[in-house]
Chain A
């Protein structure tokens, strides 16, 4: 969120926060994401190495995968940090702003009056780190704020559903 404050060139300005600053996600969420990177990519690379190796009866796939593994997983690990910093949300009086994405950057504005259901979800790994995501279901596509502190997520849900009830509009 520090980098948003700098906002010198107009391209950064495009995704600037409507309030003073974007609320960033829980740092534990970054840990969850990085654990996932460390589990997913090695599993996939081993599967590829095994599959191709057995099919071709050769050690080459394993060697290539082994060489690629460290830089690739490192890149993905580092990228999670940037993805994490690219995420953020901001609550205004009538709308919720959610920002995400590195390559394709996206800002979604959802009016409280359009929220049909607000869900708090947490998988097993997330629960272990006390992290939960908040999903905003509208009659259109839904938006998700992943990785909030579990207590904060519940509080946000309550806040949002209260505002949603106050501002609810007919479909």
Chain B
């Protein structure tokens, strides 16, 4: 654990930081020199000298850039300090641009550990502190162990600052004031590679690109050119990278009151999701994944929606799995909730005109703690929003709906992938539902009791 922070401890990142930051250039240089050496005379190291003569300015440029990057990196490393004192966490940078990031412990939403490939080779990791609004703060790089210690210390501080009503650690009433966050760990869900691949290739984005690629191939075979296909293959590769490589070896781990996600093939990401920050859950299934019975589970976490760095933030609680995995993930997030208990309501017959193919599937449900909706043709989805997380209600009616006497009720929550909408209800029913949801939200806000029941916390 962190040193007793009575006196503010000021620390530097790990000394190897400049090396990791310049690793792309170093690797390029290394490969280049290695190839020269292989192709040239093995025994004669001096043949490397020839490379500089033969390749001239190009190689020199790479070398100079690498050196500059490392020198800059060293100065930046000297000039960067982070300090965890009693009231706040500070990151001080005093190199060319001076900056002092002050992070109030109570503002910390989550602390994630990321290990890009190069950092992983050297046993280093970067810390990513999510502070809700605005971009997160990064500390590059720490030793893996130090990063974990710091994460635990920051999370402990931040939960101590939270109002006791929503303190996640209260799940375990037996422990003392400061329970160790990383102590009891339980593996909830893993993702199998085959499942990841199926979910990736059945996604709408992948299928659309793939159809275009086939169309292009037909055109190219009948006398067209092949080169533009690259423009389609690259994004296809991108989808595989994010959905398969990025989620490789996915594990959802329950530790104390919070959930932890560890994933990635080349870069390993460890992300902590505080359960009380989860605003809603989406369970979804691409149409073509139906025969395989595979689903994914996404969450909306307060503050994640604003993040710009899509690679660093992941809203998946289960990237690909069977219905059993869905249940396990749901149980870990909201132990007080059972999906099978939801009383589903269908749509009125007039709604057939607007939902030709999804009429039977669509529906909504009001249960004790949660509003749920079910819809989608290409991507079937079930959205769950606790009453305690409702930010507002929208009741809307477009011209076609007005002709049929229908209306929609949409629940507003913080931005993210979840969006619960009861589509196409009879007008009067819709207005009643809107008022019911408003009332449910009101009583859920009063006392946070509904949330405690959901998270299975004893208040």
Contacts and interface: CB of A to CB of B under 8 A. Distances in A.
Contact of B428 (A14, A105, A140): A14
Interface of A: 10-11, 13-16, 18, 94-95, 101, 103-111, 113-114, 138-141, 143, 167, 169-171
Q: Which 10 A-B pairs have the closest CB atoms?
A: A140-B391, A169-B445, A140-B412, A14-B427, A107-B395, A109-B393, A110-B392, A139-B414, A106-B396, A138-B391
A14 B395 contact: yes
Given A94-B442, A167-B445, A104 B397 contact: yes
A94 B412 CA distance: 17
A43 to B, nearest CB: 29
20 contacts: A10-B405, A11-B405, A14-B428, A14-B431, A15-B395, A16-B431, A95-B442, A103-B399, A108-B393, A109-B394, A110-B391, A113-B442, A113-B445, A138-B391, A140-B392, A167-B445, A169-B445, A170-B448, A171-B277, A171-B414
A42 to B, nearest CB: 28
B392 A114 contact: yes
Given A11-B405, A103-B399, A138-B412, A111 B438 contact: yes
B38 interface: no
B302 interface: yes
B452 to A, nearest CB: 12
A136 B165 CA distance: 26
A14 B409 CA distance: 12
A63 B399 CA distance: 34
Contact of B394 (A108, A114, A139, A170): A108
B115 to A, nearest CB: 30
B427 A10 contact: yes
Contact of A143 (B165, B392, B396, B442): B392
A104 B391 contact: no
Interface residues on B, range: 35 or more
Interface string B416-459: 00000000000110110011001001100110100000000000
Contacts of A14: 395, 397, 407, 427-428, 430-431
Contacts of B434: 107, 109
A106 B393 CA distance: 10
Chain A interface main SS type:
mixed
A37 to B, nearest CB: 22
B392 A109 contact: yes
Contacts of A141: 391-392, 412, 415
Given A109-B434, A140-B415, A170-B165, A104 B399 contact: yes
Contacts of A95: 438, 442
A131 to B, nearest CB: 25
Nearest to A140: B391
A111 B445 contact: yes
Contact of A111 (B392, B407, B428, B430): B392
B427 A105 contact: no
Interface string B379-417: 000000000101111111111001001010000111100
B166 interface: yes
A109 B397 contact: no
Given A13-B431, A15-B395, 7 more contacts: A15-B397, A105-B396, A109-B395, A110-B391, A111-B438, A140-B413, A169-B446
Nearest to A169: B445
Contacts of B445: 111, 113-114, 167, 169
Nearest to B302: A171
A5 B396 CA distance: 20
B61 interface: no
A73 B390 CA distance: 41
Contact of B438 (A105, A109, A169): A109
Contacts of B413: 139-140
Contacts of A11: 397, 402, 405, 427
Contacts of A16: 431
Nearest to A18: B435
B451 to A, nearest CB: 8
Given A94-B442, A139-B414, A171-B302, A114 B391 contact: yes
